Amino acid sequence: MADKRGSRVADRTDAIMRTTLELGQEVGYAKLSIEAVAARAGAGKHTIYRRWPSKGALFLDSLLSLNEPELNYPDTGDIEADLREQIHAAVDLLSKPPLGPLYQAVLVEAQQDPQVAEALNERFIGPQEEKTIARLRKARDQGQLSSDFDLSLAMALLSGPFYFQVLIARQPLTREYVDRVIEAVFAGIGPKAPPTAGG
Amino acid sequence: MADKRGSRVADRTDAIMRTTLELGQEVGYAKLSIEAVAARAGAGKHTIYRRWPSKGALFLDSLLSLNEPELNYPDTGDIEADLREQIHAAVDLLSKPPLGPLYQAVLVEAQQDPQVAEALNERFIGPQEEKTIARLRKARDQGQLSSDFDLSLAMALLSGPFYFQVLIARQPLTREYVDRVIEAVFAGIGPKAPPTAGG
Amino acid sequence: MADKRGSRVADRTDAIMRTTLELGQEVGYAKLSIEAVAARAGAGKHTIYRRWPSKGALFLDSLLSLNEPELNYPDTGDIEADLREQIHAAVDLLSKPPLGPLYQAVLVEAQQDPQVAEALNERFIGPQEEKTIARLRKARDQGQLSSDFDLSLAMALLSGPFYFQVLIARQPLTREYVDRVIEAVFAGIGPKAPPTAGG
Amino acid sequence: MADKRGSRVADRTDAIMRTTLELGQEVGYAKLSIEAVAARAGAGKHTIYRRWPSKGALFLDSLLSLNEPELNYPDTGDIEADLREQIHAAVDLLSKPPLGPLYQAVLVEAQQDPQVAEALNERFIGPQEEKTIARLRKARDQGQLSSDFDLSLAMALLSGPFYFQVLIARQPLTREYVDRVIEAVFAGIGPKAPPTAGG
DNA sequence: TCCTAAACGAGACGGTACGTCATGTCTTGTC
DNA sequence: GACAAGACATGACGTACCGTCTCGTTTAGGA
């Protein structure tokens, strides 16, 4: 954590994580082996096992070590536009090479390894959710969202459809598709009240 | 499918699929090995490889062989109520033991094995989507849904949030939560038009 | 045992034993690894472990598979001359390259692995002892040995000194040395009776 | 040897040797690891490697540090009786617990490590041989041994059979067996001259 | 009723990776 | 400066499965 950089320990940790990402991109997570990471990193297997309990943990750490350009919410005052921008950025980052396949692999691994799932939530999903909710709360207070809107549903409603599209339907996510979904989520799928004089 | 019952081939196929489900429930998909299935089923490994190209394919076939109680859309005339009922049923079936963990494992495998992904879509996700869209189209025609509603977004909007909650956030899906999500999807999260005289 | 030659099993067994001897001669028993044998023999490690419980067992089997030129006792009628010849042959075989170092390694391993010790005794030491005793018994019956001589001590008295010289004192065994020992064992180290008229 | 007692260096040396013997008796030499010795002795591995070049060297030193009750030859005037007593003592010490297994392990290690072999000969076998030969020379001079007897064969003839019995045949050494061997070595196995009047 | 060809169980096989252990060298910080 | 603690690269261990490949042995069906 607070390793003095330059220390032996931190050096090895970095080298191993870098190699993990490299190999991960080359052969995919499924075919990634600790054996191979150790060999290419010029590290002993034990040095890896000393730090990470499983391939999944190593891989997650490696990914998070990238400190990917923080997905920070813009705030232009227009919540729908801001959401669009934010989600476009997230989709670009997380569903496309080079990071996309790796991120999806982490999601997969999280299904099988509770430790990975927990770490993923604590270190990535959770923080993203906090930011999202903060931005949405402000928008709701400004009357840009329905006052009924339960913020705890935000991630499910706004991210769920995209995860579905990628993970389940396995369709590419175009910007146009993203925009249509956002629009539908804002408008709701229920019948529209006829336009009023004041609308 | 159309195996003459009583034939040796069908017998072996059934025994292997049954054993697969059994073992899958005992040790989980990740730790399931073809070796172990063969041993417990009293089958030769070759007999398994002759039929299925991969563990994922075997597992998916085994699951689908259950012919789970068809998730058929009710049609009471009230689309929101029907959706609620339908989704409650699906959630009960697919997110809870005994089938839930197995289904999630198939989803995971589909991420890694395109053949499984394709088969899953063709034989399960696709048909479900068709039924959903058919029911929603009828509702839209009856004015129970926004006439703007793009039906091709239906699965993403209505299933996505639940997949997210289970696969990503890893939270249990309560009926109450399901209802709140459905309500929000119908209402939309955007600001509400003020009630009109005609509303 | 009675493997049909040409069978897959016997082929592999032979190849592995041959490679073991080869490698054993190259790097010595201590540095011999099952890993390396498998690699060079083009065999899976499991194939080795399936047959032999330990490195020592494999090595002993490999050695014995040589069916070294049977150390059969000559019988010229002169027991001392026959013993000399027999022991010279044994010493040449078992204390000199190429077999010597390997045989000594087996002796060492037998100290550490009871299974190896037992097999060595059953398959090599024991049979040699039987032959030795048979020849000595005949000689004793013919009056060429002391009628007091306890045959069960034969191996200890006649082999022990040479094993000592090689294993403990670590001195080379010259023919001349062998002859001197044999002479001393025949004569005894006790004081001699003065020669008699009839002597 | 002449370590100032009380010095840190000697303290550590002693602790390590004591632990080595302890562990050696518990798990046997083969499974003894420097790692384990260091851990149990509360010593750094480096501290061990600084003093001993190999496991064998450490082990031999540890054994010799016991200063086992010197095997000194008695001299009652009767060489055969003295030899019996001396060999009984040696057999008791070196072939039975607690020291026996450790001594045998050193013999084994000497086969594999020339440094150990040399040290063993210089510090144990050699001195024993000197004492033995000195005693035998005296006896020969007194006419208690054959004047032909080549003293350089002494150890081989008198120790060899016992080492054989323990290391090769792996039989226990009873006192009765020891006596029979000694008798045979004195008498020789060759045919006896018929008793003479003067005999 | 026999014959033949496929399916089958059993499991050997060459591989790859696993996670563990011990080696001997090295670095760090304490006493 | 000796030390404990332990990180490190290396290399072997013995195990587990993989997917392919013989083996004989059922087991049907057609001759």
pLDDT band at C196 (very low <50, low <70, confident <90, very high): low
Helix (H) or strand (E) holding D88: helix D79-95
Quick check: A27 CB within 7 A of strand E? no
How open is the CA angle B76-B81-B85, to the nearest 5 degrees?
95
Q: How many CB atoms lie within 10 A of CB A8?
A: 9
Q: Is residue B168 domain-shared with residue B126, that is, in the same domain?
A: yes
Quick check: B50 CB within 7 A of strand E? yes
Range of the domain at A120: 79-187
Q: Is residue A51 domain-shared with residue A100, that is, in the same domain?
A: no
Helices (H), ranges, C67-174 = 79-95, 99-112, 114-120, 126-141, 154-163
pLDDT band at C160 (very low <50, low <70, confident <90, very high): very high
C48 closest CA partner among C3, C15, C1: C15
Q: Is residue D27 domain-shared with residue D97, that is, in the same domain?
A: no
Do residue B187 and residue A148 have CB atoms under 8 angstroms apart?
Answer: yes
pLDDT band at C69 (very low <50, low <70, confident <90, very high): low
- Side chain identity, residue A26: E
Structure token pair of residue C167:
């294993």
Mean per-residue pLDDT for C119-134? 90
pLDDT: which is higher, C154 or D10: C154
d(CA D17, CA D65): 8
pLDDT band at C172 (very low <50, low <70, confident <90, very high): confident
CATH number of the domain at C21, please. 1.10.10.60
Percent of chain C surpassing pLDDT 70: 89
User: Residue C194: its pLDDT value, please?
Assistant: 54
Any idea of the CA torsion for A63, A69, A71, A76, to the nearest 10 degrees? 180
Mean per-residue pLDDT for B121-132? 89
Mean per-residue pLDDT for A51-70? 87
- Side chain identity, residue D5: R
Q: Is residue B86 domain-shared with residue B27, that is, in the same domain?
A: no
pLDDT band at C199 (very low <50, low <70, confident <90, very high): very low
User: Residue B2: its pLDDT value, please?
Assistant: 38
Nearest residue in C to D156, CA atom: C161
How open is the CA angle C72-C78-C82, to the nearest 5 degrees?
30
pLDDT band at A198 (very low <50, low <70, confident <90, very high): very low
Q: Is residue B87 domain-shared with residue B56, that is, in the same domain?
A: no
pLDDT band at C146 (very low <50, low <70, confident <90, very high): confident
Q: Is residue B59 domain-shared with residue B94, that is, in the same domain?
A: no
Q: Is residue B154 domain-shared with residue B99, that is, in the same domain?
A: yes
A71 closest CA partner among A140, A25, A124: A124
Nucleotide nearest to C4 (CA to C1'): F23
Give CA separation, C60 vs C21, C104, C114, in Å.
10, 11, 12
**Is residue C192 in some structural domain?**
no
d(CA B178, CA B162): 8
pLDDT: which is higher, C1 or C190: C190
Q: Is residue C127 domain-shared with residue C179, that is, in the same domain?
A: yes
Q: State the nearest Cα–Cα gap between C35 and chain D, in angstroms.
A: 20
Burial of C8 (0-12, 13-18, 19+ CB in 10 A): exposed
Mean per-residue pLDDT for B77-82? 89
User: Residue C195: its pLDDT value, please?
Assistant: 52
**Is residue D44 in some structural domain?**
yes
B166 in contact with chain A, both atoms CB, cutoff 8 A: no
Give CA separation, B197 vs A61, B192, C108, in Å.
58, 15, 103
Do residue D190 and residue C186 have CB atoms under 8 angstroms apart?
Answer: yes
Domain count, chain A: 2
d(CA C23, CA C18): 9
User: Residue C32: its pLDDT value, please?
Assistant: 94
d(CA A109, CA A116): 7
Last residue of a domain, one of B64, B87, B103: B64
Q: For residue range A74-94, what is the model confidence (pLDDT) as tens digits?
A: 888 888 889 999 999 999 888
Would you say residue D3 has pLDDT above 50? Answer: no
A95-99, A149-153, B33-37: range with highest mean pLDDT: B33-37
User: Residue D46: its pLDDT value, please?
Assistant: 92
Give CA separation, A10 vs A4, A20, A22, A123, B45, in Å.
7, 15, 18, 20, 46
**Distance in angstroms: CA A110, C1' E12:** 37
Structure token pair of residue B127:
């048909």
pLDDT band at D5 (very low <50, low <70, confident <90, very high): very low
**Distance in angstroms: CA C179, C1' E14:** 53
Q: Is residue B58 domain-shared with residue B85, that is, in the same domain?
A: no
User: Residue D110: its pLDDT value, please?
Assistant: 86
User: Residue A105: its pLDDT value, please?
Assistant: 86
